[in-house]
Amino acid sequence: MTAQRPSAAQRERALIKEYDIEFLGPEREHRWPERYRATFAEARNVRGCFFEDLKRGTRTLAGRPLSLPVNVLQERSLCLKRSVVPPGLDPMNESTLRVMEALVFSRFKAEVKCKTCRGFHWIADFQAIPTNETEAKSLEKRRSERFLCQCPREQWDPEGFDDKGDTLLFTSFLEVPVHYDPSEGLVERGIPQRKPDLVMGLKTTNSVTFFQDEFDSRRRGCRLRHTPFKRSGLVYPFILVESKSEENSPGFEAIQRQSAFPLREFLRLQQKLQQASGQPLDPLVWFFSYQADEWRLSAAVVNNGKYQVYDLWVNRLLDPSGSLQLLLLVDFIADWARDLYRLKVLSCLAGGTDRVKRFRESSTDTYASQRSMGSVIRTVSQPPVQLSQEPDIIWISSSVVTEVNDARMSGVPLRSDPVNHPAHPFLRWTGQSTPLSSPARDMTIRHANMVEFRFLHLRMPYDIQALSILLGTVMSRGLQDVKTLWETVKPVLLDPLRGISTTLSWIDQVKCLWLRVSPVAEDNVTDADVQAFFQFRTYLRGSDWQLVREMTCISWTSGSIAALAHLSGDDSRLSGASFQLNVEECVSSKATATITRLGSLTGKASAAAAFASLTLYLDRNASNWTDREAARGEDSLFEALIVPYGQNIERYVDVDSATLAVIPKRIPPAFAKSLGLRTPLTPTAKAVLLHCQPDNNPQAPRWCLMVVEEVDFMLDKAVGEMLTCAVGYDGAFVFNSHQSGILSWVRNAPLGSLGDVRCIQWWLDHLL
């Protein structure tokens, strides 16, 4: 009798066993691998959460306090439940499945932090803990100091500093073929190529690409596979989702067979990265499988040379408790991916966690295109204050330089010894952190993404005596008398379509947003309705070639306008009562987005704006910026009141500054076009040489290498190659220095025509 040939399913089961893939089912906790035990246990604890408890108004689930309001959890759970088609009705089609999956995994594409208060929109109620004790304590401290956003929900997604979704740290593929490692010959063995319904992995952001390329270069051309897909954009997948339709479905065992080798491939990517880097990484892939409304969560790991899959949870989404538990599990995994997994992968690629922290983007909120690197606050009413920020913030100011954790701002003045703490790599070659001797001091090296942000606020006093003293200083510098000044600014101040009707507290919020600092609660500070005018400038500072972005605000109360009219002798009987301000919330919200958008300029756009000494004014609709020609009234206001103060501006103007490293991101074309930037840099330029004769400041460097592309400033050779490219560029950009301390670009000139260039050769010799 002829032996019966094994079926396709039997052959597949045999191959799964041969390649050491084991589906172990819902094992007891003591049988879990020890290094994964705490993570698995936290995920399984979700089974103790029930929707009925939420209906009773409880503030705890599974014995732990809830982070989000009860009604938010109820709303999310019921929304997911309603997306499921009940059994017996028409089977769920492809579009219905995609909608349901989008609801389940929405956390990976949602903003995490508020753009206004920097509080979290959500905090996971179940959280993974690192196995390393030191890392666990550090993460626990950061988590304990996070706080929920209290802003109205309609303010969560304003058009602001970033475009939504531009800087997400995770991405997903739908039904994209998984390609196995060619060296294993799996396809030749008859193992079919699979297309999982959904795969989630790390998005190839700038930092991922940078460390990935650097990792491959260290291996001398022996490149490691970072992704199992032909498509680019996703590396090191950590979630796999597979489903079967309700009708004629072969069941979950078929889903396991279909997903076995993709799971193995994902684990092998992590395993090989860990082995090649020598850094700690425990391979882990989360496996979601579902049929109709029944969902299961398993965890695939590498243990004792085998690829093991453990079942952790199962429930039905038509049960509100099942929907609630699934959402809590996804919150848990999203939190794990942000706080643990992504950092571990980057650390493997970078060669250590310390290097990652210097270049790391912010977390998954789309407000993450800027990383705060330091702040020195100088005001007329307060001494310098050291501010505490988010976990990826490093102080780099020459007066306060220290690395800080996730502590919140206390408002208590502190002191720190700058010598004991490293500066940001972008400042390594500026002379601020490294003593330089001649001829090195004749040239500094700057990056266009390292920017000093400044916020200036002139509050016009309503007290006639105080206003008289202020204007006396202006007039003592040879400017117009008060009457002429009034005639100049009167058309602007009395035009209801000029400026922004807002409050002093809103201006303080804009300042904090511009400088990336947390607001400080001050006692005995009264709010007031004001008419505010905003000017934006960006330029290169003549003393050290620092790129500066400056936001200046002049605010007037109705009383200060009346006081100026009185001092000028205006007989129109203008009084505070006759000039009323109508504060509009929508205008303030629009202005916030318009103002903060200018903070995102990086690379060539950042350099081009500074080279041109770009000056802009907020338009009357608070929705765009206009140049001097289109804003003559506002221009005259700032020329009359701000320019005359010069170096003594701090006597009357609150001046706050923060040095920030801006993370590169795509700038919307419409926004870039509205600025009217005409960059003098060629598309291939990675760095350019800038030159200025030290007429006003003999101590200032005559040369500056301005880098406009991504480069590791800790690698001498990489910086040297940038300098080589700049020397090969068509000459240098020549700047004039003004008494105001601002440099202005005037022309390009060959290097040979600019005098002694020995300092450039000195830098080349020492860097290469």
- Torsion angle in degrees (nearest 10) through CA of 9, 14, 18, 20: 60
For 684, phi and psi rounded to 5 degrees?
A: -95, -5
pLDDT score at 24: 92
Residues 6+ apart with CB under 8 A from 529: 501, 502, 503, 557, 558, 581, 583
Where do we find the tokens 């607001």? 519
How many angstroms separate the CA atoms of 690 and 705, rounded?
Answer: 6
- Nearest 5 degrees, angle CA 16-CA 19-CA 20? 90
What's the Cα-to-Cα distance from 139 to each of 127, 339, 525, 606, 751, rounded to whole Å? 10, 8, 36, 34, 51
Distance CA 697, CA 8 (A): 81
> Residue 578: how many CB atoms within 10 A of its CB?
11
And the tokens for 645? 């103060």
**315 and 164 in contact (C-beta within 8 Å)?**
no
Backbone angles phi, psi at 330, to 5 degrees: -65, -40
Q: CB burial class (10 A; 0-12, 13-18, 19+) of residue 135?
A: middle
Q: What single-letter DSSP state applies at residue 700?
A: S
Residues 6+ away with beta carbon under 8 Å from 613? 537, 538, 539, 742, 743, 744
Name residues whose C-beta falls within 8 Å of residue 629's C-beta, 6 or more positions apart in sequence.
none
Q: Is 454:555 a contact under the CB 8 Å cutoff?
A: no
Give the count of beta carbons closer than 10 Å to the beta carbon of residue 579: 18
Cβ neighbours, 10 Å, residue 487: 12
Q: For residue 505, which phi and psi values (nearest 5 degrees)?
A: -65, -35
Q: Interior CA angle at 463 toward 459 and 469, to 5°?
A: 75
pLDDT confidence of residue 89: 52
Both tokens assigned to 529: 């309705």
Residue whose pair of structure tokens reads 């092998």 in the numeric block? 268
- State which amino acid sits at residue 192: P
Q: Please compute Rg for the chain using Cα positions.
A: 30
DSSP string across 409-448: P--------GGGSPPPGGGTTSSSSS---TTGGGEEEEET
- Residue 746 C-beta-side C-alpha neighbours within 13 Å: 11
pLDDT for res 421: 33
HEC secondary structure over 305-353? CEEEEEEEEEEECCCHHHHHHHHHHHHHHHHHHHHHHHHHHHHHHHCCH
Determine the Cα–Cα distance for residues 268 and 271; give it in Å rounded to an integer: 5
Q: Which two tokens stand for residue 659?
A: 């040095």
Contacts of 87 (CB under 8 A, 6+ apart): 246, 292, 293
**DSSP reduced 3-state for 226:** coil
Q: For residue 290, what are the CA distances in angstroms to 313, 345, 421, 468?
A: 12, 28, 51, 75
Q: Is the Cβ–Cβ distance between 324 and 103 less than 8 Å?
A: no
Q: What is the pLDDT of residue 285?
A: 97
Q: According to the model, what pLDDT value does residue 637 have?
A: 76
Tokens for 732, please give them.
């240098």
Question: From the centroid of its chain, how far is CA 139?
Answer: 19
Hey, which bits of 105-226 come out as E strands? 170-173, 198-203
User: Rounded to whole angstroms, what are the CA distances from 570 to 481, 486, 545, 564?
Assistant: 13, 9, 45, 9
Strand-pair partners of 566: none
Quickly tell me which residue has 């608070």 as its tokens. Answer: 622
The helix/strand/coil state of 648 is: helix
pLDDT at 245: 66
Residue-by-residue DSSP string for 106-143: GGGGS--B-TTT--BS---SS----SSHHHHHHHHHHH
What is the C-alpha to C-alpha distance for residues 156 and 110, in angstroms, rounded to an integer? 11
Q: What are phi and psi of 246, to 5 degrees?
A: -70, -40
Helix axes 632-641, 482-493, angle to 10 degrees: 140
Cβ contact 361:339 at 8 Å: no
3-state secondary structure of 660: strand
Query: With contact defined as beta carbons under 8 Å apart, do 186 and 15 qualify?
Result: no
Looking at residue 372, its pLDDT comes to 30
CA torsion angle 658 660 665 669 (round to 10): 40
In Å, what is the CA distance from 304 to each residue of 20, 21, 33? 10, 12, 9
In the 8-state DSSP scheme, what is residue 293?
T
**Cα 22 to Cα 300: distance, rounded to the nearest angstrom:** 9
Which residues sit opposite 736 in a β-bridge? 744
Q: CA geometry: angle at 369 spanning 366 and 374, to 5°?
A: 125
Q: What is the DSSP string of 591-637?
A: HHHHHHHGGG--HHHHHHHHHTT-EEEE-TTSS-EE-TTT-HHHHHH
- Compute mean pLDDT per 10 residues along the chain, 768 residues long, and list them: 72 90 91 93 90 78 77 82 66 66 83 73 84 83 80 46 51 91 88 92 85 78 84 92 72 89 96 91 94 91 94 92 92 92 91 69 32 29 28 26 24 28 68 53 87 89 79 55 80 78 86 77 64 90 90 88 82 50 61 80 88 85 73 71 56 79 72 72 84 72 89 85 82 80 83 77 84
Position 587 scores a pLDDT of 63
